[in-house]
Amino acid sequence: MTDRVNLIETIAKEDKFSTFSRLLGTSGASVVFSGDGPFTVFAPTNDAFGKVPDARMNELLQEPDQRKLKALLSYHILQGKVMAGSLGAMPLRKSVTGQDVAFSDLKGLKVNGAGVEARNIEATNGVVHQIDTVLTQPPNAAVSAAKASAASAAQSTTPADVRVATPAVVPAAIPAASAWPAKHLL
């Protein structure tokens, strides 16, 4: 018998993902997991949500249908099961929203510049990777650089060239801010 449960339950049972879990439910983003899996989820910790400015979180939470919050959370999900060892090999992947997510394995595994802290938390319908920052769309210049890097890597003959060519991407829209007050947690 296996100890694994589905992605929703895997995320919900970890206290460090309690904010992400609640927001997946209230925004309706968890409906993504009812589709054909498997999925790869980059789950921000509660501390990662603490970096989001209060004004931005209030805007997302107070929107009547929480469409922007649902889109933001869905951006953290990839179609298919991608283990951590394979993330840096391909600088760009599409999230379930259709937007590019950029990866780098220079100075530690990064997704859009966010550090991947815990890796390969397996569930019955995919895998979860813990990240230290809430993801936003990478800046256009970074996506262009990652695409150029991918083209360069495709012409390369050694895996080391792929790693050197992969750019680090820094999220543009979520600067560090004071801790998010607990009253905003759903």
Which residue has better confidence, 152 or 181?
Answer: 152
CATH numbers and ranges of domains, the chain: 7-172 (2.30.180.10)
- For the segment 101-114, what is each residue's pLDDT rounded down to a tens digit? 999 988 899 999 99
Range name among 1-5, 52-56, 96-100 with the lowest pLDDT average: 1-5
The pairing of strands 126-131 and 110-111 is: unpaired
Q: Is the pLDDT confidence value at 184 over 70?
A: no
Report the pLDDT averaged over residues 56-79: 96
- For the segment 19-40, what is each residue's pLDDT rounded down to a tens digit? 999 999 999 999 999 888 999 9
- For the segment 163-175, what is each residue's pLDDT rounded down to a tens digit? 333 333 333 333 3
Range name among 73-77, 131-135, 177-181 with the lowest pLDDT average: 177-181
- For the segment 131-160, what is each residue's pLDDT rounded down to a tens digit? 999 998 765 544 455 555 555 444 443 333
Beta carbons of 8 and 33 less than 8 angstroms apart: yes
Q: What's the Rg (C-alpha) of the chain?
A: 16
